[in-house]
């Protein structure tokens, strides 16, 4: 059994805690949050308010980081120093430069994995398999993240609204969809993008973005995100090949052929326990990570993998500042 600890008992930690508590591969040993009132969320393990105290006392095998973005890299490095495997919530860091600090940690035999749970969706896996098996020629893609986040969302955790705290809305809300776009369309080459403030929310970060992403072999993707809508629409991902069009929306993967015939190829389990837009794949990702530790495989989303979406976001931010096309930085 892996001895597991969790750092950060805010909004997303409930999803991690539910998986850890149910896991046959792990036991919840300790939890840490600077806010003493959060002890109530983890009454079944030791509670700490200081990360280093927890790491030095508990001899943990794995720690989950459910922390503000600016703490992901320093806390991952600290946990690595204490010989812990790390699963950090997305993004890997604030930027490529920040995330790259995890490429060669002090103890490289301890894994660092990133929580892109949508890679474990049935719809994602099915589309990956189809594209690989049919050797389909991808010519383009589209990603839409049309959501609602109000001032209350930012006021509840002020780091979310600052550049130094979160990096921006792209890193916070859009990164899963950007990650899937690069998975199907990549490798990334360059982009032209604009980051926008469409609302009057008192936040430093953009609330919306639009981009034209260019991948190798002249594959192009259109991307659009906003937090200014009245509700959370389903994320939409479209991948176009020379023969057909694949769409993932509302947890379903469909294929539309050139003659207009549309067929359902896969469905994701709806998330009825937590917010639906988290998807239902945290459990699969966490269990797969535990298995990769126990069997010492590299079957998890690694630091180099997680840097790919950060590189696109860095380029989008730079393009918006420069009002010009920006090439991949790594």
Ligand X SMILES: NC(=O)c1ccc[n+]([C@@H]2O[C@H](COP(=O)([O-])OP(=O)(O)OC[C@H]3O[C@@H](n4cnc5c(N)ncnc54)[C@H](O)[C@@H]3O)[C@@H](O)[C@H]2O)c1
Give the binding site for ligand X (CB under 6 A): 7-12, 32-35, 38, 51, 66-69, 71, 89-90, 115, 117, 157, 172, 278
Contact 48, 66 (CB under 8 A): no
Between 215 and 290, name the residue whose CB sits nearer to ligand X.
290
Is residue 28 within 8 A of residue 20, CB to CB? The reply is yes
The backbone torsions φ and ψ at residue 279, rounded to the nearest 5 degrees and listed phi first, read 75, -175
Q: In whole angstroms, how close is the CB of 309 to ligand X at the nearest point?
A: 13
Least distance from ligand X to the Cβ atom of residue 106, Å: 20
Smallest distance, ligand X to C-beta of residue 33, A: 4
Cis ω on the peptide bond leading into residue 187 (within 30° of 0)? yes
Closest CB to ligand X: residue number: 10
Residue 199, helix vs strand vs coil: coil
Whichever of 71 and 201 has its CB closer to ligand X, that residue is 71
Give the tokens for residue 116: 């892109």
Min separation Cβ 233 and ligand X, Å: 16
Query: Exposed, middle or buried: residue 258 (CB in 10 Å: 0-12, 13-18, 19+)?
Result: exposed
- Taking 3-state DSSP, the helix, strand and coil percentages for the chain, each rounded to the nearest 5, stand at 40, 30, 35
CB of 13 to ligand X, least distance (A): 6
The sheet carrying 26-32 orders its strands as 46-48, 26-32, 2-7, 62-65, 85-89, 112-115
Q: How far is the CB of 209 from ligand X (least distance, A)?
A: 16
What count of Cα atoms within 13 Å lies in the side-chain half-sphere of residue 262?
A: 7
Going through the chain in order, the beta strands assigned E by DSSP cover: 2-7, 26-32, 46-48, 62-65, 85-89, 112-115, 138-146, 188-196, 208-215, 219-226, 236-241, 244-249, 252-257, 262-267, 326-327
Compare residues 214 and 282 and give the one whose CB is closer to ligand X: 282
Q: How far is the CB of 218 from ligand X (least distance, A)?
A: 32
Whichever of 13 and 228 has its CB closer to ligand X, that residue is 13
């Amino acid at each position: 059994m892996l001895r597991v600890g969790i750092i950060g008992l805010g909004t997303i930690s409930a999803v991690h805690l539910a998986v850890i508590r149910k896991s046959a591969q792990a036991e919840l040993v300790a939890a840490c949050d600077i806010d003493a009132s959060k002890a109530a969320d983890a009454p079944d393990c030791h509670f700490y308010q200081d990360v280093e105290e927890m790491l030095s006392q508990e001899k943990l095998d794995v720690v989950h980081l459910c922390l503000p973005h600016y703490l992901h890299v320093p806390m991952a490095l600290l946990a690595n120093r204490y010989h812990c495997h790390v699963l950090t919530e997305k993004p890997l860091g604030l930027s490529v430069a920040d995330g790259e600090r995890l490429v060669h940690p002090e103890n490289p035999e301890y894994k660092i994995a990133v929580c892109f749970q949508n890679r474990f969706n049935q719809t994602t896996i099915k589309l990956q398999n189809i594209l690989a098996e049919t050797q389909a020629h991808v010519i383009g893609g589209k990603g839409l993240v049309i959501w609602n986040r109000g001032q209350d969302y930012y006021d509840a955790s002020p780091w979310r609204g600052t550049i130094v705290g979160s990096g921006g809305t792209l890193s916070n809300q859009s990164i899963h969809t950007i990650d899937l776009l690069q998975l199907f369309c990549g490798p990334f080459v360059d982009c032209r993008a604009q980051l926008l403030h469409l609302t009057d929310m008192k936040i430093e970060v953009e609330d919306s973005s639009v981009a034209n992403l260019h991948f190798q072999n002249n594959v192009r993707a259109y991307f659009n995100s906003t937090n200014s809508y009245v509700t959370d629409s389903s994320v939409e991902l479209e991948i176009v090949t020379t023969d057909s069009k694949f769409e993932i929306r509302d947890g379903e993967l469909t294929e539309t052929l050139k003659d207009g015939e549309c067929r359902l190829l896969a469905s994701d389990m709806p998330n009825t326990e937590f917010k639906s837009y988290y998807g239902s794949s945290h459990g699969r990702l966490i269990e797969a990570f535990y298995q990769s530790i126990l069997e010492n495989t590299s079957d998890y989303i690694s630091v180099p993998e997680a840097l790919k979406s950060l590189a696109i976001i860095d380029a989008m931010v730079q393009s918006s500042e420069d009002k010009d096309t920006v090439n991949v930085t790594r």
